[in-house]
Homo-oligomer: A and B are copies of this chain.
Amino acid sequence: MRRPSQESKELLGPNVDCRHCSLVTLCLPVAVDEAELAMLERVIKHRRLLARGEELFRRGERFHSVYAIKSGSMKTFTTADRKVVQVTGFHLPGELLALDAVGAGVYQYSARALETASVCEFPFNRLEDLGTLVRGVQRQLLRIMSRQIEHDLSLHVLHCKSTAPARLATFLVNLSMRFAERGLSRAEFHLSMSRADIGNYLGLAKETVSRLFTEFQERQLVSVRRKSLRIHDLYKLESLAGLHATVA
């Protein structure tokens, strides 16, 4: 396993090396063989390094590429008058951004780095060409888009049914799971987004989020100190989230 701290040294080259990327099982190349991987690498335009707060693309710009996050984290959001109106998602390494822009040909949301981040750029028309040539790539593209739809619909379910504690619990359980998928601790991680962002994302006031963190801490479910979170009782958190469906 490679230490993430070493990655910053190898970010800037125009060429990429999917074969040795630790995210290969999460990003596009899954189930694509060696030869196909080589073709895919040629499609990737370059990597880009983003500083905290820097924008990758903006709502309304002409769509040309999807991006895979290599390190760091990002948020996507809608805007009006340069102000953030609605946070639509938080994104971790291995996840693809801008899949929703394919249909309209225009970025639907803006994307901003929550901390120093690096991304791989996939020009979409080249990806499409490759999809026609290589069945594995088409498959994977469709699969990833489908997973995205699945995820977005589950988000809809979350928002309709749940009370505030259930929403925050779901959010934390989901983050925990995603960190675990990336080989990081599922019990202890860094919240790179603000309370206001979390609240906005979940449809809650930032004060409510703050109160809930306090409450969860009092109930021994988690420890929170500013941006660092430790989960003590994942099972209870999942119960709060409405998983473990208590048989009616």
Residues of B near A150 (CB, < 8 A) are 100-101, 103-104, 108
A1 at the interface (CB under 8 A from B): no
A117 to B143, CA, bound (A): 28
A35 at the interface (CB under 8 A from B): no
- Copies held by the complex: 2
Choose among A148, A200, A245 the residue with the greatest number of B CB atoms under 10 Å from its CB.
A148
Residues of B near A88 (CB, < 8 A) are 153, 156-157
Residue from the list B102, B200, B245, B248 in contact with A143, Cβ < 8 A: B102
Residues of B near A217 (CB, < 8 A) are none
Q: A-side interface residues toward B, CB under 8 Å?
A: 78, 80-81, 83, 85-86, 88-89, 99-104, 108-109, 128, 131-132, 135, 138-139, 141-150, 152-153, 155-157, 159-161, 200-203, 245, 247-248
Which 10 interchain pairs have the tightest Cβ spacing?
A152-B152, A102-B146, A160-B203, A103-B146, A103-B147, A145-B145, A100-B149, A159-B159, A100-B150, A86-B157
